Amino acid sequence: TSNPSIFEKAIAGSDLYDEQLASLGGLDPQAAFETLAVADIQHAADILAGVFDSSGGNDGYVSLEVSPRLAHDTAATIADAMRLWNVVNRPNLMVKVPATKAGIPAIEELTAAGVNVNATLMFSLEHYEDVASAYVRGAERASDPSTLASVASFFVSRVDSATDAALENVGTEDALRLRGKAAVANAKLAYRRYGEIFNGRPFASLRARGTRPQRVLWASTSTKNPSYSDVMYIEELIGKNTVNTAPPDTIEAFLDHGTVRADSLCDQVEEAQILIASLPDVGVDFDAITSELQVAGVAAFSAAFDTLLAAIVRKQPGTLV
């Protein structure tokens, strides 16, 4: 996967791209960035082409995000996504679209147009339901839905970080005992909804036409709190038709001391629902937290993008501003 923060660290935080930037003199910063990003994404897609082919198009995808500046503009998001889809020109590309209010109709339209979409920045069950419904609606309108592939990127550890802070602010015994539990519970409820939609009636006619379900992708799965297990967001989120984009350190930790519990996502789902429902009772507005996390996520990606473009200006003195 890729996002503005990843590219910002790679381009602004190293000299790996300096030679390429020097060869792009005269391009405006955004055009220079896109040239670098598209080349990287095409290269990654070509490396993964064997996986894509051998899996029948189920795996081997690479993601490129639309400009975060467009997160609240449906028409511009659609246009940018279509342009990137055509420029990269790889069947194993997914275009990342934030699951904002403006992003949801864009996800539907892009899916209907045959574009593989990675719906990102999802933090709540409502976000998930909106994205899954948009995919189903779009697939129903696609000329050949059997060619589609899509994931719904559901963020995990950030939910615990924000919810834990709210619980600690309340400070009662009932509140404090819920720390470190909201993110996994939230994810389990989203996965249950995935099963209801894609294994049930809403997707039945599309399934009969060979359409792939939109898989859930667990994002932000490194543990931020050192007092928690460093593999908790892998061990607790194992289930069919899911993807986990864990960072290398978390993968190494899981290989070293993680435990595989088949379909752990299906364990204690009723308890997860009770836990999420209990948050308002202890004084925590979970809906507000997840909404604010999405707003903050868009802002963080936009800030990273601005930092990235500023770094290109510094590294390429002849760049047009």
Using alpha carbons, list the distances in angstroms from residue 267 to 143, 192, 264.
Answer: 38, 11, 5
Q: Which of 96, 101, 224, 315 is catalytic?
A: 96
Which residues fall within 8 angstroms of residue 198, CB to CB, at 6 or more apart?
132, 207, 213, 214, 241
The answer to whether residue 101 is catalytic is no
φ, ψ of residue 127 in degrees (nearest 5): -55, -45
Residues linked to residue 182 through DSSP beta bridges, in sequence order: none
Candidates 212, 97, 225, 249; CA nearest to 156 is 225
> CA 183 to CA 170: how far, in whole Å?
18
Using alpha carbons, list the distances in angstroms from residue 63 to 48, 178, 197, 280, 316.
Answer: 12, 34, 24, 36, 26
**Inter-helix orientation angle 182-198/269-278, to 10°:** 120
Task: Supply angle C-alpha 123, 105, 110, rounded to 5.
Answer: 105
DSSP states of 253-283: HHHHH----TTGGGTTHHHHHHHHHHTGGGT
Q: Under a CB-based contact definition with an 8 Å cutoff, are residues 198 and 133 in contact?
A: no
Task: Supply angle C-alpha 17, 247, 160, rounded to 5.
Answer: 125
Q: Which two tokens stand for residue 194?
A: 């995935």
Task: With H, G, I as helix, E, B as strand and everything else as coil, classify residue 204.
Answer: helix
| Residues annotated catalytic, as ranges | 96
